[in-house]
Structure 1
C-alpha cells in the first residue's frame, strides 16, 4: 500500500543501505576487534594501562617512540586499526540516525534552568536529545527514567570549575526519540 507521508525513494535508499550493511556484517568472519588483540603495541598498552605509572617511558618505550612519530603517521596507524570496524560503525550510525530523526524536536523552556517532562507509561523511548543554540553559555545535565525526563541547565564557575544550575529561563529544543 502507498502511504502519502512516506518518501518512497528515501525509504528504498534506507532499505538498500540496511541490506548492504547487514550483508557486510554477516560476511565478517572474525570477532570484531580481533585484529587489535594481535597487535603487540596495543596489547602492551592494554595490559599496562590499569597499572599506576606503567605507561611511563621506560615501561613502554615503544609507545613513547610511536607518540614521537609525525601526526600523519600516527593518524594513518589509527585509520588502519579502525578500518576493520568500519562496517560496525556505519551500522551503528544508521541506527542512531534513524532514532535521532524519528521525531522533530519541540521548543521548550526550562524555567529557572529546570525542566521536567512525565513520559507515557509503556512507551519504549531510546534517546533524549536536547538542542541549544550555538554559542549558548549553558550545558544540559539530563536525567531520564522510564517515567520522566529532567533537564537542568548548568554553567561552570570560572574560578572554581564547580557547576551550578542557572537561575534564568532557558529556551531549548527537546526530542524524545523512539522507533
Structure 2
C-alpha cells in the first residue's frame, strides 16, 4: 500500500517537511561516497531553512506541553497501563527540556561556522561547489569517509532535539486516527467533517496495483479526494472507475 498524507494547517505541513528532510539525512549519512555526503550537507541546509521560521520552536514546545498535560490526565486511570503512560510522558518531558535549553532557533550554532556558511551560500548556485570555487570544500571531500561522517554527524547533532520532538509529535498525531475502508465512486470521494472538532492530518492508503494517484483537498468542513491516472502523455487524467482505499483522520 502507498501512504499519502495531507496536512490541514501550516504547522503540520512544516513538521512533515522537516520529518522528510531528517529521514533523508539519516539515509545519506551512513554512506561513504563524497557525493552522498554532499547531499547530506545540502539536506542539512534545507533543514536550517525550514527551521528558520520564527515561531517553529515555540509551536513545538507548546505541542509537547499540550500532549504532556493531556496524558497526565490519564494518571490513576485503571484502564491505562501506568508504566507505558509514564514512559511516554517522560519522553515528552525529555524532548521539551532538550529543545527548551537550546539557545535561539534550531541549528543556530551552525550559522557561526564560517566554512559551512560559505558552502551554504554556494549550493543554490548551479555547479557552485566546483573545486575551483571552493577549494577547501573540494579538499574536505577527499578526506576519508569516516572523517566526513563524523563531521556531518557533529553538525547535525545540533538539530537532534528538534528532530526527536517532531518525531514524537507526529507519532502521537498519527496514532490518534482510526483507519476505515471507503469507496470512491467514479473516482470521486467527499466527506463532511463534524463541526466542533479540528483535524490536523489526513492519511490515505491505496493499493499501487490500482495505478491511481489521489489528489486531496480539504478544510475544516469537508475533505475531497479525486483519483487520477497518469496517461501516456505524462499528464494526469481523472479516473472514472470505482476504487477502494483506506482513510484515517487524525486530530
Shorter chain as normaliser: what TM range?
Answer: 0.7 to 0.9
Q: After TM superposition, give the deviation of residue 65 of structure 1 in Å.
A: 5.6
Q: Which residue in the other structure is 1:171 paired with?
A: 244
Instruction: State which of 97, 114, 122 in structure 1 corresponds to 2:188.
Output: 114
Partner deviation per Cα, 1:17-44 (whole Å, 9 max, x = no partner): 1111112223224532112212334322
TM-score by length of 2: 0.59
Higher helix residue share = 2
Where structure 2 has 5 or more consecutive residues not aligned to the other structure, the ranges are: 1-74
SS in 1 for 2:165: helix
Map residues 154-169 of structure 1 onto 2, 5 A cutoff: 154-157=228-231, 159-169=232-242
Q: Say which structure, 1 or 2, has more relative contact order (CA 8 Å, 6+ apart).
A: 2
**In structure 2, C-alpha distance between the alignment counterparts of 1:64 and 1:156, rounded to whole Å:** 42
Q: After TM superposition, give the deviation of residue 107 of structure 1 in Å.
A: 0.9
RMSD between aligned residues:
2.8
**In structure 2, C-alpha distance between the alignment counterparts of 1:175 and 1:169, rounded to whole Å:** 19
**In structure 1, C-alpha distance between the alignment counterparts of 2:195 and 2:95, rounded to whole Å:** 34
1:54·1:60 contact (CA, 8 Å) conserved in 2?
Answer: no
**In structure 2, C-alpha distance between the alignment counterparts of 1:80 and 1:64, rounded to whole Å:** 20
Aligned length: 176
Partner deviation per Cα, 1:39-78 (whole Å, 9 max, x = no partner): 3343224334555x46262444555565676766655443
* Counterparts in 2 of 1:148 and 1:84: CA distance versus 1, 3 Å: same
SS in 2 for 1:151: strand
Q: Which residue in the other structure is 2:8 paired with?
A: none
TM-score by length of 1: 0.79
**In structure 1, C-alpha distance between the alignment counterparts of 2:146 and 2:244, rounded to whole Å:** 42
User: Whose Rg is larger?
Assistant: 1
**In structure 2, C-alpha distance between the alignment counterparts of 1:22 and 1:9, rounded to whole Å:** 20
